[in-house]
Structure 1
Amino acid sequence: MNSVRPRILIVGAGWAGFILSQQLDDSKYDITIIAPHQTFAYTPLLASAATGLFFSRLAEEPIRRAHRRMTYYRALATAADLDQKSVTCIPSILQPSGRDIPDANHPFTVEYDVLIIAPGCVNQTFNTPGATDYCFFLKTVPDAEAIKAKLLSLLEVASLPTTSPERAKELLHIAVVGGGPTGVELSAELTDLFSEMSKTYPHLAGLPSITIHDVAPEILGVFHQKLKAYALRSFKKHGVEVKTNSHIEKIEEDALYTKEDGRIPAGMVAWATGNKQCDFVESLHGLSKATRLGRILTDQRLRALKEDQSVLENVYALGDAADIFGNGLPTTAEVAVQKAEYLVNTLNRHSSKPASPFVYKQRRMVAYVGGTDGVIMGRQDWTGEAAWLAWRSGSLGWTRSWRRAGMIMASWAWNFIGGREIARK
């Protein structure tokens, strides 16, 4: 290892990578972070940001910190030489639109002593024709801003004197693909938005609609049966249509096609289902990987395993890109956070004794279903306004700074007084 400070290279700045980048001992390690965005997104807050509950900048944190000694490269990792301990990267160039373009013409190499693989997953569209071109996703702050801008555009186009009521109804139909927590909470936030917008756009009252499509027989698959049934009743009360066993065949700019119903006009299709590994994880050969999702398999101490199940020293993997051999865990923020905090403690501790194995502690699971209503699964199952309040307070719990939490609370207060706005950026 380096005679000065061991070089830790962190690939990715999602929940796992960001916590590691901010909490590893920078007096003990020479820390480098590779990530394609200069901010970390609070993913549980993105649906709220996309529907104008608060400014989208409150749903992200900068990776660079004045008080942190570390190196950050806005780049994509493309390949790794695990024998030579180096990672090849290409710059990720920020465009005026807020999107990124990889620059394959200027690759560079970063060497390491300890490698931490945590790039997260990317959207899985299952090769559905048109999905990549026409769907809106919700993994980053630019994604949330794109949804917000699209919603505003739809409301304004529907308000034009040249738009018939029939066409306005089609434009204001939002189709959400995916009945997991992300799709459900986005649908709930859209319900609240359209309810409030009836005051600003009274001429459009009764025209907006929301439909959830899921190929599974039920939404919120991991929740208890009675909570699923409650969520369905709540959505029905708020006018949200839920189509389970719905097979998406293709997406067009103004419609989606399902095997069951054919062409369904929609002003926006939000894709909130499916994950797959990024190209970097797929490029890593010689590692043991799970059959499902291709996640890197690790031991109980989060050390990457070779194909023969032996440990690859000084290479760790966590977050959505990894799973523990023989102890599969879901791809959730809670799992990533707990693994990151475990690895921080492991690497920062000054002890020659091996760290204890990682043990995941299941927290309560919360989903918002709109109209100050929600469901919570834990030691006790909750529903109704109490669950909604727990969800709102839980949203603040995800933030990593009091300043940001205070600004979000102030936004909620202003929205309560004067209503939310989606026109402001």
Structure 2
Amino acid sequence: MMLRARSALSASSLRPALRQTPVAWLVYTPACRSFHASRARVATLASPRMWAAGAVALGAAALLSLNSVASDSPSQSPALLGTESTGPDGIPIATNWIQDPQKPLLVVLGSGWGATSLLKELEPGAYNTLVISPTNYFLFTPLLPEATTGTVETRSLMESIRRICQRVRATYFEAHAYDVDVQRKLVLVEVDDSIADQAVKRRFYVPYDRLVVAVGAQNNTFGIPGVSENCNFLKSIKDARAIRAKMMDLFEHAALPTTTEAERKKFLSFVVAGGGPTGVEYAAELSDFLHEDLIKFFPDLVRNDVSITVIQSADHILNTYSKAISEFAEQKFKRQSINVVTNARVTRVNSDTIEYKLKKPQAGGPESIELPYGMCVWSTGIGMKPITKRLTSSISEQKNSKALLVDTRLRLLGGAGVYALGDCATIETPQMLKLVNEHYQKTGRDLWSYGEFKEVADELVERYPQTAVHLGQCTPEDFEKLDLDHNGRLDRDEIKKWLDDVNNHLTSLAPTAQVASQQGAYLAHQLNQLSLIPRETWDHYENTKLKPFRYRHFGSFSYVGHDNAVLDLQNVWSSVGHINGVGAYFLWRGAYLSEQVSLRTRALIGFDWVKKQLFGRDITRS
């Protein structure tokens, strides 16, 4: 009895200390349960040797408790967070993520295509690297339309950003980058601490030597009333889940005996605002889901009450693709009973109707139309995020109202040490006339021979790679077309006409995953080279040694339904131009599998496609 009392006393006396740390409590709790459940066995097996072993174990637990208590102190302690210094307004500067003070500081904002591509190509350990993003995963956005119907599961499209950071030995903070102080080289970070303390937002600064802004863009409503309140978007994993849940809600409500015929038709009217790749692929996926899966469970509803309408402001859907592809997609949609309304501009979105105005109304027909809907998916463009708006307003060189302006090396205009890439950035318009005037001053000649014309054209392409498509090879035949007076020389007026023609055909790079991925890989290569030389020489080295970014287009895919896809190759393989049908569908799937960031997501997506073929799509609401 005395032995049992001593043992119980020892355990109870240690309980408060052990409870101070989760780790020690995990060690202590099973031992206590075992002890109280078998006290008689403990008494009989007790011996001096066992008491010694017990003393060692309890001593180790106590040490573990003390160490854990020391390491688990409150997170707001500036010393433990490495925030000994403060920035503007007394906000602390976080330095706890800096692993080697001798290495430069690289901060990456975002976890999308541009940021992920950069992290995959960055040399491990070359920088003290910090990634800041409110989403702790990379999302394979091209397959989001498939996630809305269950062709692929949402988890299959996501890869942990911490797993990606691990390869390059980078630190990750799940937080919002609120603003950038380009003068002090500080990023203001905002953390939503609603889990710990409701409605409290903590802020801290992060220093950098090089900053990469790859925050992407947000949906653009163009100021149309009711869009934000009544439409579903398709840009994030939450959007895809919301669309999937709402779609099944509408079908279940339409199947109830209390639902009238008018209500059924309204509930099952699906409207897609925007005829670009995302809108077209969502409409195609929805049509497949209806006619391959839901028709088995809601046959009368699918045959009699469902309608799909795509509203497009241009003359054709997929208007950035070749005309042949647009016409092929429209024919496919017609066979699938998808109504395509072109040359129409949405004017208002109400809670259950959408209003649009026809640019070319039929004779005697209405100009404005109001269409009832159960769900409206808005997919008509992108706009700037709050942080990019703040950057634009704080830097005088930023004159673009739609994206951050960068030079051909992706450096932010007016922001030393800052790069921007992906959807949030656009490359500045080439200063071609300035280069031509420099050539005039250098040579002192106003008339150019073919050799001088070719020399200037090659220099333009080298300095501004985006002009390569329009300047072509600058053959003698091109020179003859520009030589309007056929005197074998180009005068200033003829050269100006040539430059104006090139400028009129220049367009910004499309905000696609392909562009952002190439920009991220390019910037990683540049940063790898900079890490090998002294920091004071970086700017000079970038200007003289590093080549400008050059985008290489590999074609554009779009799924159009019923195992058919389109592949636009007009700027890649001119002799082919495009590929349509089932062949393009298999190329599309193979390309998307090869573009996965990990073997894990590649396997998951492949399994999802096989599962869909064997068992169909899941129709439960999740």
TM-score, structure 2 length as denominator? 0.64
Residue 75 (str. 1) matches residue 175 (str. 2): yes
The partner residue of 2:211 within 107, 115, 131 is 115
The partner residue of 2:600 within 375, 397, 403 is 403
Rounded to whole Å, the distance in 1 between the matches of 2:192 and 2:115 is 17
Conserved? CA contact 2:565–2:588, under 8 Å: yes
Q: Give the C-alpha shift of residue 142 in structure 1.
A: 0.7
Mean Cα deviation higher: 206-215 or 58-67 = 58-67
Show the 5 A alignment for 1:407-418: 407-418=604-615
> What corresponds to 1:341 in structure 2?
521
> What corresponds to 1:199 in structure 2?
296
Rounded to whole Å, the distance in 2 between the matches of 1:27 and 1:269 is 47
Show the 5 A alignment for 1:137-148: 137-148=233-244
Structure 1: which 5+ runs fail to align? 96-101, 307-311
Rounded to whole Å, the distance in 2 between the matches of 1:86 and 1:177 is 40
> What corresponds to 1:288 in structure 2?
397
Rounded to whole Å, the distance in 2 between the matches of 1:254 and 1:165 is 16
Rounded to whole Å, the distance in 2 between the matches of 1:391 and 1:121 is 25
Q: Give the C-alpha shift of residue 291 in structure 1.
A: 3.3
Secondary structure at the aligned position of 2:202 is classed as coil
Residue 421 (str. 1) matches residue 618 (str. 2): yes
Deviations 1:351-405 (A, max 9, x none): 5563222110011111111111121111221111111122222222332112211
1:40/1:130 CA distance change after superposition, 3 Å: same
Rounded to whole Å, the distance in 1 between the matches of 2:397 and 2:194 is 34
> What corresponds to 1:4 in structure 2?
102
> What corresponds to 2:495 in structure 1?
none
Deviations 1:323-372 (A, max 9, x none): 22224311111000000001111112365563222110011111111111
Deviations 1:282-330 (A, max 9, x none): 111225335361x222222211122xxxxx4421111111122224311
Mean Cα deviation higher: 164-173 or 134-143 = 164-173
Conserved? CA contact 1:250–1:256, under 8 Å: yes
Secondary structure at the aligned position of 2:510 is classed as coil
Conserved? CA contact 1:38–1:62, under 8 Å: yes
What amino acid is aligned across from residue 187 of structure 1 in structure 2?
A
Secondary structure at the aligned position of 2:221 is classed as coil
TM-score, structure 1 length as denominator? 0.92
Deviations 1:14-57 (A, max 9, x none): 11112223442341111111212111211101000111102111
1:401/1:87 CA distance change after superposition, 3 Å: same
Rounded to whole Å, the distance in 2 between the matches of 1:333 and 1:165 is 43
Rounded to whole Å, the distance in 1 between the matches of 2:317 and 2:206 is 43
> What corresponds to 1:301 in structure 2?
409
What amino acid is aligned across from residue 281 of structure 1 in structure 2?
T
Mean Cα deviation higher: 29-38 or 64-73 = 64-73
Mean Cα deviation higher: 326-335 or 352-361 = 352-361
Instruction: Tell me how many residue pairs correspond in the alignment.
Output: 414
The partner residue of 2:320 within 222, 228, 234 is 222
Show the 5 A alignment for 1:324-403: 324-326=427-429, 327=466, 328-349=508-529, 354-378=545-569, 379=573, 380=576, 381-403=578-600
Structure 2: which 5+ runs fail to align? 1-97, 358-366, 430-465, 467-507, 534-540
Answer 1 or 2: which has greater strand percent: 1
Rounded to whole Å, the distance in 1 between the matches of 2:580 and 2:379 is 23
1:330/1:49 CA distance change after superposition, 3 Å: same
Secondary structure at the aligned position of 1:369 is classed as strand
Deviations 1:161-186 (A, max 9, x none): 11123321221111001111010111
Answer 1 or 2: which has greater helix percent: 2
Deviations 1:237-274 (A, max 9, x none): 11111111212121122221123443211110000112
Show the 5 A alignment for 1:3-402: 3-65=101-163, 67-68=166-167, 69-92=169-192, 105-196=201-292, 197-206=294-303, 207-259=305-357, 260-284=367-391, 285-286=394-395, 288-289=397-398, 291=400, 293=402, 295-306=403-414, 312-326=415-429, 327=466, 328-349=508-529, 354-378=545-569, 379=573, 380=576, 381-402=578-599
Rounded to whole Å, the distance in 2 between the matches of 1:289 and 1:82 is 13
Conserved? CA contact 2:193–2:200, under 8 Å: no
Rounded to whole Å, the distance in 2 between the matches of 1:31 and 1:303 is 18
Q: Give the C-alpha shift of residue 135 in structure 1.
A: 0.7
Rounded to whole Å, the distance in 2 between the matches of 1:249 and 1:424 is 32
Mean Cα deviation higher: 140-149 or 355-364 = 355-364
Rounded to whole Å, the distance in 1 between the matches of 2:145 and 2:354 is 21
Rg larger in structure: 2
What amino acid is aligned across from residue 85 of structure 1 in structure 2?
K
Conserved? CA contact 1:90–1:103, under 8 Å: no
Q: Which one scores higher on RCO, CA 8 angstroms, separation ≥ 6?
A: 1
* Identity, % of aligned positions: 35
What amino acid is aligned across from residue 399 of structure 1 in structure 2?
Q
